[in-house]
């Protein structure tokens, strides 16, 4: 069995993304289960509750980490908790993770 070697690239770059800013998190943790919205549980502790989202978009620069080989290109945003921002199948130019 023959083994082929493929190039895998990892790079970091700054990416400007239009963003709706959020307000400060509530200082006091919320334990109440009576905050039910669309069938979701009101249990949010230990995560902070942020109740303010601003109406205007601002261009914000994020650090992006890009993983790429001959088949796919995946862009991850560490500042947003390691979320996958884009995942592209290079063989057919198809975004297999929703990309806006």
Task: Count how many domains the chain has.
Answer: 1
Q: Are 73 and 90 in contact (CB under 8 A)?
A: yes
Is residue 91 predicted with pLDDT exceeding 80? yes
Q: What is the pLDDT of residue 84?
A: 96
Q: What is the pLDDT of residue 48?
A: 78
Q: How many C-alpha atoms does 16 have within 13 Å on its Cβ side?
A: 3
Q: What is the pLDDT of residue 3?
A: 59
Q: Name the pTM for this structure.
A: 0.72
Please report whether residue 3 resides in a domain: no
Average of pLDDT values for 46-72?
91
Please report whether residue 4 resides in a domain: no
List pLDDT tens digits, range 14-57: 999 999 999 998 887 666 666 556 666 666 677 777 888 999 99
Please report whether residue 2 resides in a domain: no
């Amino acid at each position: 069995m023959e083994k082929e070697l493929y190039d895998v690239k990892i790079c970091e770059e700054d990416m400007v993304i239009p963003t709706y800013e959020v307000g400060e998190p509530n200082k006091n943790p919320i334990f109440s289960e009576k905050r039910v919205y669309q069938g979701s549980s009101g249990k949010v502790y230990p995560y902070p509750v942020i109740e303010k989202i601003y109406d205007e978009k601002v261009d914000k620069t994020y650090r992006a980490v890009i993983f790429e080989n001959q088949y796919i290109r995946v862009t991850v945003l560490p500042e947003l908790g390691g979320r996958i921002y884009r995942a592209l199948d290079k063989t057919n130019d198809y975004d297999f993770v929703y990309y806006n």
